[in-house]
Amino acid sequence: MSRINYFFFLFLISISLANAFDYDYDIGFGLRRDEFHSSFAAPDEKIKGLSELSWKDLYLYEVKAALKIVPFSHYNVRLKGDYGRIFHGKHLDANKGEAFDFSAALGYQSTWFNRCLIFNPMIGWSRHELHLNDDNAYQVLSSSMPEGDVIEGRHSHYRTKWKGPWVGIDCAAMLVPCWSVKATIEYHWVQFRGIRHQNLPRDFSQDFKNTAYGKGTIFTIGTQYIWNCLVVGLEYDFAYMQASHGFDRVYTILGQSRMHLKNACWHSMSLLGTVACLF
């Protein structure tokens, strides 16, 4: 919970600093659905073994905040962050876990047709985390027992991070004086890092560590309506990140070894209701 408090503290500080400039902000609440997949292979091509991890249909409650500050006539700064709490998923005990996202960008805004059409090219940096937990593990002793046995009292977790620079563009159009639509598309270059803590045999002396590089896309579309002093809206977000040709470092009592991280893939969809106040 400390990360949530820290995030909202930064948001409130940003709001107070933004009072000296023109700014827009909104806060959103809604539902989100994530999936994450990764696959690993032995470094020796003669060994056909392949390890896979998959979390499907992860449903989260999500809260999101965004702030856009315009310190000068055309330049602007955009800050965005969200927090999600997993309440359902398909992977053993996948109803526990969290998601964190943060993005910062610098843009140059141009307006057309008496501010009815706005274009805002941006460059930025973002970080996306997914914290996945398992309270029960499966141990497969032979191919004749594919389902394995539950190992009682074992707790494992997997932490994934996607971070790196991106370029994108914001677009907004005022259809009528009280109603507008907006869209954003971003192209990301990302470094993927994963840490797997598997509470299994003591042969493994440290956590498994994954590293790879990849790319991704984030797309947002939404609408807003001004009602008295409130701005209410609806927003749909889609994110897709993929990394490949990396390494999975394994630490055992015999030393360090590496497996190939063949692929890591994360995608997310969310639908949020947003609200802001006009002062």
Is the model's pLDDT at 236 over the cut of 60?
yes
Has residue 252 got a pLDDT over 60?
Answer: no
- The whole-chain average pLDDT of the chain stands at 81
- What is the pLDDT at residue 277? 81
Residue 25 sits at the vertex; the CA angle it makes with 24 and 27, to the nearest 5 degrees, is 160
* Chain segment 105-155, per-residue pLDDT in tens: 999 999 888 888 999 999 999 999 999 876 554 444 444 444 544 444 456
**In which band, very low, low, confident or very high, does the pLDDT at 209 lie, cut at 50, 70 and 90?**
confident
pLDDT tens across 40-95, in order? Answer: 776 655 455 567 788 888 999 999 999 888 887 789 999 999 999 999 887 644 45
Instruction: Report domain 26-138+153-277's class.
Output: mainly beta
**pLDDT value for 195:** 86
Q: What's the confidence (pLDDT) of residue 120?
A: 95
Query: At 208, is the pLDDT very low, low, confident or very high (cuts 50, 70, 90)?
Result: confident
3-state DSSP call for residue 12?
helix
Amino acid at residue number 116: C
Q: Rounded distance, CA 243 to CA 262, Å?
A: 8
Query: What is the pLDDT confidence band of residue 10, given thresholds at 50, 70 and 90?
Result: low
On whether the CB atoms of residues 259 and 42 are closer than 8 A, the answer is yes
CB atoms within 10 A of CB 7: 18
State the pLDDT at residue 74: 85
Residue reference for tokens 């594919």 = 146
For residues 17 and 216, which has the higher predicted lDDT (pLDDT)?
216
Q: Is the dihedral of CA 22, 125, 131, 237 positive or negative?
A: positive
* CA gap 167, 108 in Å, rounded: 12
pLDDT score for 81: 93
- Closest of 193, 179, 279 to residue 223, by C-alpha: 179
